[in-house]
Amino acid sequence: MIKVWVLVIVMFYNGFPSKGTSNSNNVTRPSTVNVGAILSFNSTIGGVAKIAIQAAVDDINSNATILNGTKFNISMQDTKFSPGFLGIIDSLILMEKGTVAIIGPQYSEMAHVISHIANEMQVPLLSFAATDPTLTSLQFPYFVRTTQSDLYQMSAVADIVDHFQWRDVIAIFIDDDHGRNGVAALGDKLAEKRCKISYKVPFRPNNNNNISEEEINNALFKIALMESRVIVVHIVADLGLKVLKVAQSLSMMGSGYVWIATDWLSTVLDSNPSLSTSSAMNDIQGVITLRMYTPDSELKRKFVSRWNNLTLKMNHQEGPFGLNTFGLYAYDTVWVIAYALDALFSGGNNNNNNNNNNHNILFSNDSSLNLLRGDSLHLDTMGVFINGSTLLQKILEVNQTGLTGRMMFDLDGNLLNPSYEIINVIGTGVRRIGYWSESYGLHTGEEVPNDGNSSEGLYGVIWPGQTTQTPRGWVFASNGRHLRIGVPLRVSYHEFVSRIEGTDMFGGYCIDVFFAALNLLPYPVPYKFVSFGNGRTNPLNSELLHQITIGAFDAVIGDITITTNRSKIVDFTQPYIESGLVVVAPIKELKSSAWAFLIPFTPMMWFVTGMLFLIVGVVVWILERPFNDDFRGPIRRQLVTIIWFSFSTLVFAHKEKTVSTLGRLVLIIWLFVVLILSSSYTASLTSILTVEKLSSPVKGIKSLVVNNDRIGIMSGTYAENYLSEVFNIHRSRLVPFNSLSEFEKALKDGQDNGGVAAIIAERAYMELFLSTRCQFGIVGQEFTKMGWGFAFPRDSPLAIDMSTAILKLSENGDLQRIHDKWLTRSACSSEGAKQGIDRLETKSFWGLFLLIGIACLIALLCYLIRMTYRFRRHYSNSTNLEVPSSSSCSSCLKSFFSFVNEKEK
């Protein structure tokens, strides 16, 4: 009880201020430096680490180039599988000995607690085995991780899951800091890949790992009933082997299962070479595991060759045991401390307050600990390591090559450039199938050079059950229970979904598509149809989909439209038919008018065309009059000639000949314009007189929105909510119907007789409705783009496989053949009423009009220039006449026009 109270006081006492006087050791380099280590000697990791740490200390002390004569003294404490109270006591005992750094602890949960003590005592804590990602925190500035964090290991696991396109995994873990936080990191990394942990199996922490097989059996039995078959095991070594053994006895190590073990399994395989020849190998066949990657080097090979001698020398157990990666990191951890101490002794203390004692290892007595004087732990002798912050900085600045590769740290105290080997257990050994690195993800090459020669992905895997085919990763839950597939029991449109009389089976277009897609799946799907509805009215699709969310149905098939709100509660497959909303209304054929020949051109077009005929006639008359007798004579004759010539060009029947160059140029361009106008007029008139002309008082959805007419809709569909929410049509205007006969009667009665002005429904329904009812038609355009799909629970893998099957049906033509079987259109169905006549407008010909206008202006300008030049030349050459003076403009103009009026020879 006294020790417990001492612990409470130490852990929760606020602050250890550095008060008191310093020790009197003023030696430039101490003769001995004390470093502590907290291990569990009898564990797989601790046993190897103990030998590796002692070997590193011996190598350092025998190396004259490091520490320059200062003896490196290691003090190890055995926690005996206890990551709790005893480990804390061990750390306090190490603090009494003037320890400048602590190697360990081995367990993450112990590291959380001891990190608080290290913070107060300012003693760096270097752990080669505590992989809990949450230890990297501002809360623990003196914690340095000399191994790889589980954050990166879980990233590798998530990449493996995503590589094989699995979406759900089951996590088995120990419910302590190490297991719980590691699985939390796995969940975060899976979420980044749009995957998730669908079920968690925590085991209670137990110091002796004596969890019974009955507990394991019960946990695995629950897993066997789950849908996911991808299982990630993140626990301690001894318990992990028990789990896999029980899984083997439950036939859960066979085909279809995926087992991914974190680095605990590779550690066991490396540490226990005899395991490969034991029956335990049968329990782990096909398992994928990870191992921290350490590159091959001459330094590593020499140490591996020494390992057997080291184990025989330092270990009292019978025979040697294998070296695992944690042993390599433990060895390098000692060297990191040695390099940092050497830098501290050589470079001095960077703390400005202690420049006078920069080569000393100094501890300060804390007056607060005097309260604990007299206790058997001698906690009052503990001192704050004055050089601790500087030593921590030197540790983080270490950049040396060790057995595990380059030892460099980031600002958070984590090793840089983490990477893992991906290993597949096969036969009596293991096979490396790839690598994972933080920068490149999964790849098959040992190193990924800048030129990217290493390929992405993994080599082939031998899965449980000795198969090379990648498992699907999931099965139908509840131990093979048949899927309950909901089918709407509709009272109309039996071409889509209908129950076969006297049976529980269904038929129709939607059912045939479902069967065809089901046949393309690479696995059998047990199912049974369950009808939904009373058979008197169409059931609401929203209520049908709600049955999936409450677990009543495992899927829903039928004429179910995919909408945004529905996609929030269920997962839909790829659409297998497009069916947007359309407006259907009564239509009638337009009767031809006596003035139908005027319809092709708008009134403005007629006016502009007529004016152009007259303008061109006048221009040609002006250009031809000086040379051509056809354009001379009395004024009345000349007016008739202008009008006759202009309009006769419409049919190219003009008898007057053009003799002037400018006149011919204008006429050629004008005849081209007339050709285009007459051709366009003829084509438009032909289309108007030959194409069926349908008329309806309803012009489309826009006309229905602005008036107050009643609108018919199909009951049970999304149309009512869509029209009221998107177009703000009051629900009182929407009249639901269940059958085709009700649709037909309501449209025939019309708005004035208690019926409806139009029907708004999905195109697929309306095409069937119109196939035998020619008096109705689709007016306007389809104003939504929707599709039908099969519905499944959220994140259902079957929805993905069914979508792939539907795409295959579309590509091979089977989907169209099923459509033609059930939904062949009749010649009576109309694509829509022609609500407007495509009349030709002036803007369609402004280019031609501009061309003839420019031609006329240029011709007139050239004619005017020519006549002016000839007029001046004529009067200048005359001997009897003088050129009129500028003062008599009127007489000049009169003379000019008289000259122009004269016929030229």
Within-domain flag for 848: no
Going by pLDDT thresholds of 50, 70 and 90, the confidence category of residue 13 is very low
Identify the three-state secondary structure at position 198. strand
Higher pLDDT, 657 or 69: 69
| Residue 653 pLDDT | 60
H/E element, 581: strand 581-586
Going by pLDDT thresholds of 50, 70 and 90, the confidence category of residue 690 is low
What is the rounded average pLDDT for all residues in the chain? Answer: 82
Within-domain flag for 373: yes
Residue 105 preceded by cis peptide, ω within 30:
yes
Higher pLDDT, 899 or 705: 705
d(CA 380, CA 367): 8
Two structure tokens written together for 13: 């006492």
Within-domain flag for 399: yes
Among candidate residues 690, 707, 733, the one where a domain is terminated:
690
Two structure tokens written together for 538: 């169409």
pLDDT digits (tens, 9 = 90+) for 44-100: 899 899 999 999 999 999 998 888 888 999 989 888 766 566 667 766 777 777 789
Residue 62 half-sphere exposure, CB side, CA atoms within 13 Å? 6
d(CA 845, CA 675): 12
| Residue 93 pLDDT | 76
539 and 563 fall within a common domain = yes
| Residue 321 pLDDT | 79
| Residue 384 pLDDT | 81
Q: What are phi and psi of 820, to 5 degrees?
A: -65, -30
Q: Are strands 125-127 and 101-103 parallel, antiparallel or unpaired?
A: parallel
Contact 410, 143 (CB under 8 A): no
167 and 125 fall within a common domain = no
Judged against a pLDDT cut of 60, whether residue 880 lies above it is answered with no
| Residue 350 pLDDT | 44
| Residue 5 pLDDT | 35
499 and 521 fall within a common domain = yes
| Residue 546 pLDDT | 94
| Residue 277 pLDDT | 76
365 and 495 fall within a common domain = no
Residue by residue, DSSP assigns 845-861 as SHHHHHHHHHHHHHHHH
Angle at which helix 44-61 crosses helix 298-314, to 10 degrees, equals 110
Identify the three-state secondary structure at position 484. strand
286 and 422 fall within a common domain = yes
| Residue 64 pLDDT | 85
Two structure tokens written together for 798: 């079957």
Contact 39, 78 (CB under 8 A): yes
Two structure tokens written together for 644: 């006759």
The structure's pTM equals 0.70
- Residues contacting residue 290 through CB under 8 Å, at least 6 positions apart: 153, 156, 157, 261, 262, 263, 266, 420, 421, 422, 423, 436
344 and 271 fall within a common domain = no
Higher pLDDT, 741 or 372: 741
Within-domain flag for 476: no
517 and 491 fall within a common domain = yes
Average pLDDT over residues 710-718: 87
| Residue 845 pLDDT | 62
Residue 197 half-sphere exposure, CB side, CA atoms within 13 Å? 23
424 and 336 fall within a common domain = no
Higher pLDDT, 507 or 634: 507
Judged against a pLDDT cut of 90, whether residue 380 lies above it is answered with no
Q: For residue 641, which of 628, 652, 630, 657 has the smallest C-alpha distance?
A: 630
Judged against a pLDDT cut of 60, whether residue 108 lies above it is answered with yes
Judged against a pLDDT cut of 60, whether residue 9 lies above it is answered with no
Contact 100, 361 (CB under 8 A): yes
Percent of the chain with pLDDT strictly greater than 70:
81
Average pLDDT over residues 191-203: 93
600 and 681 fall within a common domain = yes
Which residue type sits at 744? E
Q: Give the domain extent around 258.
A: 150-298+418-443
pLDDT digits (tens, 9 = 90+) for 596-639: 667 777 888 888 888 888 888 788 887 777 777 677 777 777 77
Among candidate residues 647, 663, 690, the one where a domain is terminated:
690
Judged against a pLDDT cut of 90, whether residue 824 lies above it is answered with no
48 and 134 fall within a common domain = yes
d(CA 757, CA 23): 102
Within-domain flag for 717: yes
Within-domain flag for 662: yes
213 and 316 fall within a common domain = no
> Where residue 801 sits, what CATH number does that domain have?
3.40.190.10
Average pLDDT over residues 366-383: 54
Q: How many domains does the chain have?
A: 5
> Where residue 45 sits, what CATH number does that domain have?
3.40.50.2300
Percent of the chain with pLDDT strictly greater than 90:
40
Judged against a pLDDT cut of 80, whether residue 564 lies above it is answered with yes
Range in 353-367, 496-510, 525-539 with the lowest mean pLDDT: 353-367
pLDDT digits (tens, 9 = 90+) for 832-857: 444 444 555 666 567 667 777 787 78
Among candidate residues 785, 810, 831, the one where a domain is terminated:
785
Give start and end residues of each alpha helix (H) in 625-658: 635-648
158 and 140 fall within a common domain = no
Within-domain flag for 641: yes
| Residue 436 pLDDT | 95
Average pLDDT over residues 221-226: 90
Within-domain flag for 340: yes
